[in-house]
Amino acid sequence: MTLNCMIVDDDEMSRLLVSRFIEQTDFLNLTHVLDNTIEASNILVGEKNNDVDLVFLDVEMPEMTGLELSKSLKNTYPIIFITSKKEYAIEAFEDNVLDYLVKPIEYTRFLKSVIKAREEREKELKFAEMEDHIFVKSDSKLVRIPFENLFFVEALADYVIFNTLKGKFIVHHTMKGIEKRLPMSMFSRVHRSYIINRSKISNIEDFNISISDKVIPIGASYKDEFLSRVNML
């Protein structure tokens, strides 16, 4: 399993050090190196990028602190805080942050944190594969949706739409969060706005998937992963 990583830190030396540690670790892949939380927020909160599995986030940042960004993400992304002050650790763990690293960072401590991140991700995937349904909140009740009845999930601003055999259910959630709750053995993210049940595909043509009467585009960044999971002759 490979974890795609984002670094958000206004300290250049810290960015370089964490980048080097990531490059030295086989199961990590560096996708973003940013020096401000505003840019990070635009990517993570706005769902403009969905290949981030782990965020290394400096606490003391101008304009918006790492703690403030963390609160805005609502636990959608695992976060490892980077800080020069140990007292921030208490507040970090109150926000369910995965771990924290105190500057100057040593590789042994860094490795302990990222191994923990990988183990947590493996637990999430294992749990999703064991389930055969998901509960979603509709009005004032929780509705049980068997995975076999779920055709696809579609993003709609800050909401997602579950398109099922028994109709549509609109839920206030993120696509990234929903993706973690669905088993990869059945479902694929094929576009930043779509997760599909592969067993419901009727045909694939010109980078488009047909499910029932819906035509769903395949995003270029998702194509290879999706096709690797389709049983083709």
Q: What is the CATH number of the domain that holds 166?
A: 2.40.50.1020
pLDDT value at 82 more than 70: yes
Is residue 47 domain-shared with residue 140, that is, in the same domain?
no
pLDDT tens, residue by residue, 155-207: 988 789 999 998 999 988 888 888 888 998 899 999 989 999 999 999 999 88
162 is in which domain, residue-wise?
133-228
Is residue 180 domain-shared with residue 205, that is, in the same domain?
yes
Query: pLDDT confidence of 92, banded at 50, 70, 90?
Result: low
Q: Which of 10-14, 68-72, 180-184, 224-228 has the highest mean pLDDT?
A: 10-14
Is residue 28 domain-shared with residue 95, that is, in the same domain?
yes
Q: Does residue 233 sit within a domain? A: no
- Please tell me the predicted confidence (pLDDT) of residue 122: 87
Is residue 160 domain-shared with residue 53, that is, in the same domain?
no
Q: 99, 129, 159: which is the final residue of a domain?
A: 129
Total domain count, the chain: 2
Is residue 8 domain-shared with residue 25, that is, in the same domain?
yes
Compute the chain's Rg from CA coordinates: 19
Pairwise CA distance, residues 82 & 59, whole Å? 6
- Please tell me the predicted confidence (pLDDT) of residue 146: 94
Is residue 163 domain-shared with residue 177, that is, in the same domain?
yes
Q: 105, 129, 153: which is the final residue of a domain?
A: 129
Least trusted range by pLDDT, from 85-94, 116-125, 179-188? 85-94
Report the CATH number that the domain containing residue 12 is assigned in CATH: 3.40.50.2300
Is residue 137 domain-shared with residue 219, that is, in the same domain?
yes
- Please tell me the predicted confidence (pLDDT) of residue 95: 61
Give the residue-averaged pLDDT of 73-86.
82
Is residue 144 domain-shared with residue 122, that is, in the same domain?
no
Is residue 110 domain-shared with residue 8, that is, in the same domain?
yes
Per-chain mean pLDDT for the chain = 88
Q: 129, 151, 170: which is the final residue of a domain?
A: 129
Pairwise CA distance, residues 14 & 17, whole Å? 5
Q: What percent of the chain has pLDDT over 90?
A: 52
Q: Does residue 143 sit within a domain? A: yes
Q: Does residue 86 sit within a domain? A: yes
